[in-house]
Amino acid sequence: MNTNMPAIFREYMVLERLRSSADGIPVADYQRWCQLKKVLNNHFRPDLADRHEDQRESVRVPFKLRVGFETYGEIRECLMTNLSRGGLFIATTDPLPHGSKLQIWLRIEEGSQEIELQAEVASLNSGPGLLSDEVGMGVRFVNCNEEQEKAIDDLYERAMQRAIQS
C-alpha cells in the first residue's frame, strides 16, 4: 500500500465526505474507505489493536487543545488529546461517570473561535486494563446542528492535516 500519508489523507477525506452524505457511498468506495481508515489508524496509533479501531466511525487524530466543560453545575478545564468526527478524548484524573451529560467548549486558538457542543461520556480509560496509559474519558457529541457539524469537520480536517505533516 502507498505510504504517502498526505495523499492517503486526501483520499480518505473525499470518501469520508461521500460516506457522510445523504446519498451514501458505493460498496467499492466503502471498502476503500475502510482500507484507508485502517492505514491512518495504524499510522496514528500503531499500539492499538485493529479490532478496537474498527469499532469507530472515524479515525482518532492526535490533537491537543484546551477544552472547557460544564456538568452538574461545575465548570472544569482539561486537555483534549485526540479528536474524531464523533467525539474526543479528555485527559483527566477525575473522569465523569459513563453516560454523564456535559456541555463542552473547544477553544481554537488559530482564529479565536469557540465551538460549544453537547456531549456525553461514552467511555472511561482508567483503572486496570487500560487501552493506553492515558487516563480520562471519551465523549461523543450529541444533538449537533449543521453549523456545529461543519465546525467539527473543519477542525477534524485541520487536525488530521497537521498530524500527518508532523
pLDDT tens for each residue of 54-69: 566 788 888 888 898 8
Domain edge (last residue) among 54, 73, 88 = 54
Distance of CA 22 to the CA centre of its chain: 21
pLDDT at residue 1, as a whole number:
47
What percentage of the chain carries pLDDT values higher than 70?
86
Q: CA 117, 158, 91, 108 torsion: positive or negative?
A: negative
Which pTM does this prediction carry? 0.81
Grid cell listed for 62 = 492526535
Q: What does the buried/exposed string (b/e) look like for 146-159 if buried means 16 or more CB atoms within 10 Å of the residue's CB?
A: eeeeebbeebbbeb
Tell which residue, 77, 87, 80, has the closest CA to residue 64: 80
Question: In this structure, are 70 and 37 located in the same domain?
Answer: no
Question: In this structure, are 142 and 85 located in the same domain?
Answer: yes
User: How buried is residue 75: exposed, middle or buried, by Cβ count under 10 Å (0-12/13-18/19+)?
Assistant: exposed
Q: In which residue are the cell numbers 467511555 written?
A: 123
Q: CA 110, 8, 85, 90 torsion: positive or negative?
A: negative
Domain extent, residue 38, equals: 5-54
Question: In this structure, are 19 and 67 located in the same domain?
Answer: no
Domain count across the chain: 2
